[in-house]
Amino acid sequence: MDFLEGLNPQQAEAVRHRDGPLLILAGAGSGKTRVITHRIAHLICSQGVAPWSILAVTFTNKAAQEMRERVLKLLEGRLFSDGPTVCTFHSFCVRLLRRFGGPLAALRPGFSTSFAIYDDDDQMALIKAIYRDLGIDDKALSSRAVLAMISRAKCAKQGPEEWKAKASDPASKKIAEIYDQYEARLRAANALDFDDLLLESVRLLQHDQDLRNSWNERLTHLMIDEYQDTNANQYELMRLLAGKQGNVCVVGDEDQSIYSWRGADIRNILDFQKDFPNATVIRLEQNYRSTKSILAAASGVVANNTNRLGKKLWTAGAEGDPVVIYEAVDSDAEAFFIADMVEKLIHDDSRNRIAILYRTNFQSRAIEEALRRHGRKYKVVGGVSFYQRAEIKDLLCYLRLVVDPADNLALLRIINTPARGIGKTTVETLEQIALAHKISLWAAIQQALEQQELGPRARAALTAFRDLIVELRQASHQKRVDELLETIYERTGYKLMLEQDHTEEGETREANVAELLRAASEAADQGESAVEFLDHAALVSDADQVDETAQVSLLTMHNAKGLEFPIVFVAGMEEGLFPHKRSLDSPAMLEEERRLCYVAMTRAQKQLFLTWARSRRKFGGSPPEPSIPSRFLREVPPHTARKLGGVSSSAEIDLLGERFEVRHTVRKNLYTGKTYNSVENVANFFKERNIPVNLRPPDAGQARPQPQPPPPAEAKQPAAAPAEAKGPKKKSKLSQGAEVTHPNYGRGSIVRVEGEGPDAKVTVLFPGYGLKKLIAKYAGLAD
DNA sequence: TGATTCTACGGTCTC
DNA sequence: CGTAGAATCA
């Protein structure tokens, strides 16, 4: 098979490149996955490189799996006992440490290859425990912030000692103390956090020359995807693994670097040519994904950044529809617009896959609600992930404890779940014993029982708990993971606890456990041990659960990295939200926000909507806060975009009503409620009934030449007074075409009146809210 | 000790 | 609005 077939010249050059460092600057949608997979196949089949000497590192497990499948497909017919390794940095490190990590004990006292992995929940629990013991108040010193600082220190390979040395003010001394404790407890529990996985792998390879040599001999070709988002430890790891041969091929796009806050260093890609002076550089600039409009819009935005290597993306594709910029009155109206448009687009073509992207997770709620009104199914990526659910974590903590009794955090989590009479005081006693003798909590239990320091009740409870764990421990030697988990589920009383909970919540929790058991049995079928299963669970990411067949997906822009969708909405394009307020005073962070915007926009293949709301409420009851459009909207070149909504929001109804015919889809789903909340439904409502639509805005409606310009945006705000001195105001208080103000919906125009007097039913169009049918005497309308 | 209610508080992005 | 931790009661 010819692996160069169908590639453009630059892609082919990258695939053909055999030895020496290679930097591939791959613009969005330029087919880099194709290049990587073809290069792997080409190296193996045409250049005689042994499959096992190739390592490709991707950003997510999902990307790794996809890449593996694609390579396998290319290699069809050729079987290899030990194929190329494709995985993420983190999973590579876990495997490395589990198999070859023994010598690390010399550098890290207490380390053994059966270490536990602490995820961010565990890390937080650990910090909280330290706060308790040191008597620190979370309000005085945010634990989240401290955890972030510790993580950053680790990325920069700075231990507690270094931190302590340069700490001058009391606050950073305190942090040094927490950091110190944090490290000590991780070691005592033989646990590694995510940063440690990378850090300790680096230290291991630096320390153990034999190990390094053997890897250098084995790995002749190294490839790293999403190189712009690697951090210092990953960089170090790459250098150690690449060895002297330096056959390292990195693929990335400096315009898509969006993870500096978690330690990614954009300089890694900007300086690659300095680090490897003999590097070949190939630019992939042909985009195969998006229309000309979308590409031009996105390029126009990112062109405002200064820190770039620079490339010019182009496409042979169609011009396509202009990007739509939609201005909504408030966040609910924004959500309604999106939901309605989703209906229309799916009605137009049921194969349309749609993504709704946002900066922060809380934005999903309003959009979810709007979608639900249409009965539209959607998939949210992220949020509370499966493995974070309480019942799942509990059972996995039992498993962790069975695998490694020193795992204090796991023990603390489940020692009294389900409740078995081991209360706070008992646990505190255990903690004191553990602290005094520098032993694990598990060991402290044994000791407490021997020394008879406890009351009879606690004693009995503790004995039962110990026997339970010992029993499970013995079972673990003979059973598969799934059987073991099942035993845990039953013997710990967890099953009973859930069965007795007859609420809906209890039932979903049971279903979740069933799902976990199913996953475990799948893992066991593939020969995974309990430890491997736990590793797997610890390293799944939100992005791994993206379902690409889902019709409507909701996800953060960060999670959308590497994905593509025919239609994309980017919601919440407002200053302070996107770009996020925490980046406003730093030019570097602003540039990262802009890159994030570029990433979001370039996910779209055919059509792109950017929406923003003039006011947004942070949570339920709080008053809406006014907002101004994101600077990124201004940066979209005007000729690539079309504006909808805003001041002319009722004019746009005509526009949409004419252009789109949605009625079937919408009717089916929507005509159940009393309100008709959306732009298209408004038009629809009238079409259905053949009622003449008078939706022109009152101002523009007076077609007479008007001296003054259209009112500024503020004039449309609820509080604003209606335009005075306009014709038959008094008499037509409740007549068609008149304007009224509603306490909740603000200003609107009457489109229909049924009946008279206080009992009259009035149908009013509120820009941004759509049609509302109101009873005059209850509605509190004012003119 | 355990279960329930109450209150205060808060919100980037994530392997 | 949702949650975590405190306060309270059985």
pLDDT in tens, A636-692: 999 999 999 875 444 444 344 333 333 333 433 332 222 222 333 333 333 332 333
Beta strands in A343-413, from DSSP E residues, in sequence order:
354-358, 379-380
Q: How far is the CA of A524 from the C1' of B5 (A)?
A: 44
Which nucleotides of chain C does any protein CB come within 7 A of? 1, 5
Q: How far is the CA of A360 from the C1' of B13 (A)?
A: 7
CA distance A623 to A360: 19
Of A10, A11, A32, A58, which one is the catalytic site residue?
A32
CB A619 within 7 Å, strand C: yes
CB A277 within 7 Å, strand C: no
Q: How far is the CA of A458 from the C1' of C4 (A)?
A: 27
Of A33, A245, A447, A487, which one is the catalytic site residue?
A33
The per-residue pLDDT for A529 is 94
Nucleotide nearest to A362 (CA to C1'): B11
CA distance A124 to A430: 21
Task: State the amino acid at position A74 in one-letter form.
Answer: L
Nucleotide nearest to A622 (CA to C1'): C1
Work out the average pLDDT over A256-261. Answer: 93
Q: How far is the CA of A359 from the C1' of B14 (A)?
A: 13
Task: State the amino acid at position A558 in one-letter form.
Answer: H
Nucleotide nearest to A124 (CA to C1'): C4
Nucleotide nearest to A541 (CA to C1'): B15
The mean of the pLDDT values for chain A is 83
A754 vs A249: which has the higher pLDDT: A249
Of A11, A37, A228, A256, which one is the catalytic site residue?
A256
The per-residue pLDDT for A777 is 62
The per-residue pLDDT for A462 is 92
Contact yes or no for A338/A349 (Cβ under 8 A): no
CB A623 within 7 Å, strand C: no
Q: Which residue is nearest to nucleotide B11 (CA to C1')?
A: A362
**What is the token pair recorded at A554?**
């909701």
**What is the token pair recorded at A675?**
């309100």
CB A77 within 7 Å, strand C: no
pLDDT band, residue A783 (cuts 50/70/90) = low
CA distance A520 to A440: 28
User: A119-141 burial, b for 16+ CB within 10 Å, e for fewer?
Assistant: beebbeebbebbbeeeebeeeee
Beta strands in A319-469, from DSSP E residues, in sequence order:
323-330, 354-358, 379-380
Would you say the C-alpha torsion A431, A436, A441, A446 has a positive or negative sign? negative
Nucleotide nearest to A618 (CA to C1'): B11
Of A225, A327, A407, A542, which one is the catalytic site residue?
A225
CA distance A400 to A228: 35
Q: Check whether A391 has a pLDDT greater than 70.
A: yes
Instruction: Name, in order, each residue with C-beta under 8 angstroms of A496's C-beta and a sequence gap of 6 or more.
Output: A418
Q: How far is the CA of A400 from the C1' of B3 (A)?
A: 28
Which residues 92 to 131 of A reach strand C, CB within 7 A?
A: 128
Q: How far is the CA of A182 from the C1' of B2 (A)?
A: 31
Would you say the C-alpha torsion A134, A427, A191, A102 has a positive or negative sign? positive
DSSP-based three-state secondary structure for A769: coil
Q: Check whether A176 has a pLDDT greater than 60.
A: yes
Q: How far is the CA of A580 from the C1' of C1 (A)?
A: 21
- The runs of H, that is alpha helices, within A479-574 are 481-491, 494-500, 504-525, 530-539
Contact yes or no for A395/A520 (Cβ under 8 A): no
Tell me what percent of the residues of chain A surpass a pLDDT of 70.
83
Tell me what percent of the residues of chain A surpass a pLDDT of 90.
55
Q: How far is the CA of A497 from the C1' of C10 (A)?
A: 21
**What is the token pair recorded at A6?**
């169908």
Q: How far is the CA of A755 from the C1' of B13 (A)?
A: 54
Work out the average pLDDT over A706-734. Answer: 37
A28-75 pLDDT, tens digit each: 999 999 999 999 999 999 999 999 999 999 999 989 999 999 998 898
**What number of other Cβ atoms are within 10 A of residue A541's Cβ?**
16
The per-residue pLDDT for A700 is 31
Q: Which residue is nearest to nucleotide C2 (CA to C1')?
A: A619
Q: How far is the CA of A561 from the C1' of C2 (A)?
A: 28
Work out the average pLDDT over A317-333. Answer: 94
**What is the token pair recorded at A258?**
């969006």
Q: How far is the CA of A510 from the C1' of C3 (A)?
A: 22
Q: Check whether A562 has a pLDDT greater than 60.
A: yes
**What is the token pair recorded at A558?**
């960060």
Catalytic annotation on A128?
no
CB A778 within 7 Å, strand C: no
Least confidently predicted of A151-165, A330-344, A569-583, A690-704: A690-704
The per-residue pLDDT for A296 is 97
Of A193, A196, A226, A404, which one is the catalytic site residue?
A226
CA distance A48 to A648: 65
* HSE value, Cβ hemisphere, 13 Å, CA-based, for A653: 26
Task: State the amino acid at position A655 in one-letter form.
Answer: L
CB A620 within 7 Å, strand C: yes
Catalytic annotation on A226?
yes
Q: Which residue is nearest to nucleotide B12 (CA to C1')?
A: A360
A172 vs A479: which has the higher pLDDT: A479
Listed residue (A604, A673, A376, A665) closest to A368, CA to CA? A376
Q: Check whether A778 has a pLDDT greater than 70.
A: no
- Near-strand B residues (CB closer than 7 A): A 60, 88-90, 120, 139, 142, 144, 151, 194-195, 261-262, 359-362, 382, 416, 419-426, 457-458, 539, 541-544, 556, 558-559, 580, 582-583, 589, 618-619
The per-residue pLDDT for A702 is 32
Q: Are strands A761-766 and A746-754 parallel, antiparallel or unpaired?
A: antiparallel
Listed residue (A599, A609, A662) closest to A633, CA to CA? A609
Spell out the SS3 assignment of A521-537.
HHHHHCCCCHHHHHHHH
CA distance A270 to A264: 12
Q: Are strands A604-616 and A552-556 parallel, antiparallel or unpaired?
A: unpaired
Nucleotide nearest to A147 (CA to C1'): B14
DSSP-based three-state secondary structure for A565: strand
The per-residue pLDDT for A764 is 65
Burial class (CB in 10 A: 0-12, 13-18, 19+), A714: exposed
Task: State the amino acid at position A406 in one-letter form.
Answer: A
Work out the average pLDDT over A527-541. Answer: 91
Catalytic annotation on A225?
yes
Q: How far is the CA of A497 from the C1' of C8 (A)?
A: 25
Nucleotide nearest to A620 (CA to C1'): C1
Tokens 């050729």, residue? A78
CA distance A571 to A616: 12
Maximum separation of any 2 CA atoms in chain A, in Å: 96
Of A603, A616, A631, A772, which one is the catalytic site residue?
A603
**What is the token pair recorded at A134?**
């040191």
CB A621 within 7 Å, strand C: yes
pLDDT band, residue A174 (cuts 50/70/90) = confident
Q: How far is the CA of A397 from the C1' of C10 (A)?
A: 31
A571-607 pLDDT, tens digit each: 999 999 999 998 998 999 999 999 999 999 999 999 9
Q: Check whether A720 has a pLDDT greater than 50.
A: no
Least confidently predicted of A278-287, A354-363, A702-711: A702-711
Nucleotide nearest to A197 (CA to C1'): B15
The per-residue pLDDT for A215 is 95
| Backbone region of residue A48 per phi and psi (left: phi > 0; alpha: psi in -120 to 50; beta: other values) | left
Beta strands in A594-714, from DSSP E residues, in sequence order:
604-616, 625-626, 641-645
Which nucleotides of chain B does any protein CB come within 7 A of? 1-3, 10-15
Q: Which residue is nearest to nucleotide B3 (CA to C1')?
A: A419
Catalytic annotation on A508?
no
CA distance A265 to A282: 21
Nucleotide nearest to A91 (CA to C1'): B15
Catalytic annotation on A548?
no
Q: Check whether A403 has a pLDDT greater than 50.
A: yes
Catalytic annotation on A33?
yes
Nucleotide nearest to A561 (CA to C1'): B13
pLDDT band, residue A476 (cuts 50/70/90) = very high
Contact yes or no for A536/A528 (Cβ under 8 A): yes
A190-219 pLDDT, tens digit each: 999 999 999 999 999 999 999 999 999 999
CA distance A304 to A579: 14
DSSP-based three-state secondary structure for A116: strand
